[in-house]
Amino acid sequence: MDRQRNSRLGNRCLVILLIVLCAYGCKEDEKPAVEELVDVIEEPEEIIEFGFNIEDYIVKRDTIKRGDSFGEILERNNVGYPKIFHIAEKAKDTFDIRRLQVGKPYTLLCSKDSLQTPRCFIYQPNLVDYVVINFQDSIHAYTSRKPVTYVEKTATGIINSNISETLEEQGLSPRLAYKMADEIYAWTIDFRRLQKGDRFKVIYTDKYIDDSIYVGVHDVKAAYFEHNKEPFYAFEFVTDSTKGIIDYFSEDAKNLRRAFLKAPVKFSRISSRYNLKRRIAVYGFKIRPHKGTDFAAPIGTPIMATANGTVTESRRKGGNGNYVKIRHNATYETQYLHMRKRKAKVGDFVKQGDVIGWVGMTGNTGGPHVCYRFWKNGKQVDPFKQKLPEAKPISDSLKVKYLDFIQPIKTKLDNIHFLEDVFEEQNQPEQIIKQNNNLISFNH
C-alpha cells in the first residue's frame, strides 16, 4: 500500500512539475509576440512639390540647354512625336512651349517602372512661378506659384570701413547695402565718405519660397542712418498704388530721392565720362566727342531705367547696337546703348529701377558696358553736372495719411538699440564696447 501511495504521489509531483514548466515556457514564448506589437513600422512622410507627391514618381531634374525644345526633351525620354504634338496642341492656350529659356530649370515626373515614361512636365521661368503640363491621364496645363513668405527683420550696424563690409562680416545680404546707398540715401548721404562710428538701424523683410528657400531682401520698410552725428530717417511709402510707385520720405514727409538714379547698373564703375573734347589714339588723336557716360559691367548685368517714363524707342541701329530710349517728361530723356538684349518695348511705362535690358557688346564697343545718354530740352548733356529735380513730393492729401502711417514704425525703429548703447547701459568695460563696434545685431 505504501508503495502504491508513494508511486501515486510521485506521479502527481511529476504532473505538477510539467504544468509549471509548460506555464513558464508559454510565458517565455509570449514575449516576442508582445515585442512585435510594440514595434510599429513608420510610414514614409509624403514629399509634396508642385502639388504632387514626389514619392509616387521617378523625378528627373535638369535645365534647358541651348538647342533644347519641349519636343526634344520628351523624345529623349521615350515619348513619341505624335503624342508630343498632341500634348503641345492641348497646352498651347495655357503656355507656349516655344518660350522655354536657356538656363531655366524643368522637372519630369516619370512612372516608377523600367520604362520611366514621363507623366508630367514642369517648367520654372523663375523661382516662384511654374508651369505644369500634365499628361498622365487626360492632358491639361496650368500655371501656379510656390508659396512665398515675407519675414520682417531688424538690423543695426556701426561703420568701421564701409557699409558693404559691415554687412558682409555678419553674413547679411549685400542688397541691404545697395538699397540704403543707391536707393534710399543716394542723394542724402555720400556713402564714399562715411565716417568711422557712423551707424544705422533698419527694418526690412526677407523673402522665402516654400518657407525654406531664401531669395534675398524683399524691401526696406524703414531706416535710420546717423552720419557725422546727424540723424537721417527714411520710411517707405506707396504714393501711387495704380502704377506701383514707391518712394522714401523723411520723418517730416520730405522725399529723399531725386527723379533720377545716379547709374543705370548696380555695382559698376564709370569707364568713360561725358567729354566733348575726347581724343582717341586709334583715330589719330582727332577729337571724337563722347556724349554719354559709360558704365562698365559684365555681360548680362541688368540695366535699369533711371527714372519713371515711357519707352519711345527700342531697337537695334548701327553703332548704338541694341538700345532703349525713354521720355520722362517734357524736359528729360535717357538712352541706354549696346544692350545684349532689350526687355522694354515701345509704349511701355517703366518705373525707376525697372529692368529694361541687359549689358552687352552690340554696336561699336570695345568691351561690355552700357553707354548712358541724357537729354535735357532735346540736347545731350552730362547728367553729373545737372541740378536734377527731386522726386515728386508727397501730395497734401497724402501727407496726413503718411504721418499717421509712419508713427508706429518710427516708434519701433527708435526702440531698436545699438550694441554700444546696450553695453553702456549695462556699465560694461570700454574694451568690450570696442570689441563690439564692428558687430551687427539682427533679430528675426
pLDDT digits (tens, 9 = 90+) for 295-322: 999 999 999 999 889 999 999 999 999 9
Residues 6+ apart with CB under 8 A from 350: 305, 308, 309, 310, 311, 326, 344, 356
Residue 99 lies in a domain: yes
Do both 156 and 190 map to the same domain?
A: yes
pLDDT of amino acid 270:
86
Residue 69 lies in a domain: yes
Q: How confident is the model at residue 177 (pLDDT cuts 50, 70, 90)?
A: confident
Q: Could you give the 3-state DSSP secondary structure of residue 330?
A: coil
Do both 273 and 380 map to the same domain?
A: yes
**How many beta carbons lie within 10 A of that of residue 141, not counting itself?**
19
Amino acid identity at 60: K
271-280 confidence digits (pLDDT tens): 888 877 665 5
Q: Which residue has the higher pLDDT, 189 or 299?
A: 299
With beta carbons less than 8 A apart as the criterion, state whether 151 and 216 touch: no
Residue 17 lies in a domain: no
Residue 41 lies in a domain: no
Do both 156 and 129 map to the same domain?
A: no
Q: Which residue has the higher pLDDT, 351 or 11?
A: 351
Among 366, 385, 404, the domain boundary falls at 385
Q: How confident is the model at residue 420 (pLDDT cuts 50, 70, 90)?
A: low
Among 130, 145, 160, the domain boundary falls at 145
Q: Could you tell me the CATH number of the domain that includes residue 225?
A: 3.10.450.350
- CA 435, 438, 443, 444 dihedral sign is negative
Residue from 293, 303, 301 nearest 271 by CA: 293
Q: How confident is the model at residue 247 (pLDDT cuts 50, 70, 90)?
A: confident
Mean pLDDT of 145-163: 88
Do both 304 and 357 map to the same domain?
A: yes
Residue 329 lies in a domain: yes
Residue 182 has pLDDT above 60, yes or no: yes
Most confident segment among 29-33, 227-231, 431-435: 227-231
Residue 163 has pLDDT above 50, yes or no: yes
| Phi, psi of 150, rounded to the nearest 5 degrees | -110, 125
Residue 436 has pLDDT above 80, yes or no: no
How many domains, the chain? 3
Do both 355 and 432 map to the same domain?
A: no
Place of cell 517602372: 113
Do both 253 and 397 map to the same domain?
A: yes
| Residue ranges making up the domain that contains 92 | 48-145
pTM of the model: 0.63
Do both 345 and 294 map to the same domain?
A: yes
Do both 239 and 307 map to the same domain?
A: no
pLDDT of amino acid 8:
56
pLDDT of amino acid 212:
81
327-337 confidence digits (pLDDT tens): 999 899 999 99
Among 120, 145, 170, the domain boundary falls at 145
Do both 274 and 378 map to the same domain?
A: yes
Residue 35 lies in a domain: no
The region of weakest confidence among 138-142, 232-236, 435-439 is 435-439
Residue 5 lies in a domain: no
Query: CA 405, CA 443: separation in Å to the nearest integer?
Result: 23
Residue 24 lies in a domain: no
| Phi, psi of 149, rounded to the nearest 5 degrees | -120, 135
Burial (CB count <10 Å: 0-12, 13-18, 19+), residue 381:
middle
Do both 133 and 155 map to the same domain?
A: no
With beta carbons less than 8 A apart as the criterion, state whether 89 and 128 touch: no
Q: Could you tell me the CATH number of the domain that includes residue 308?
A: 2.70.70.10
Place of cell 526633351: 73
Q: Which three cell numbers stand for residue 180?
A: 540704403
Query: CA 14, CA 20: separation in Å to the nearest integer?
Result: 10
Do both 158 and 58 map to the same domain?
A: no
Do both 56 and 105 map to the same domain?
A: yes
11-65 confidence digits (pLDDT tens): 555 555 555 555 555 555 555 554 554 555 566 667 889 999 999 999 999 999 9
Query: CA 130, CA 128: separation in Å to the nearest integer?
Result: 7
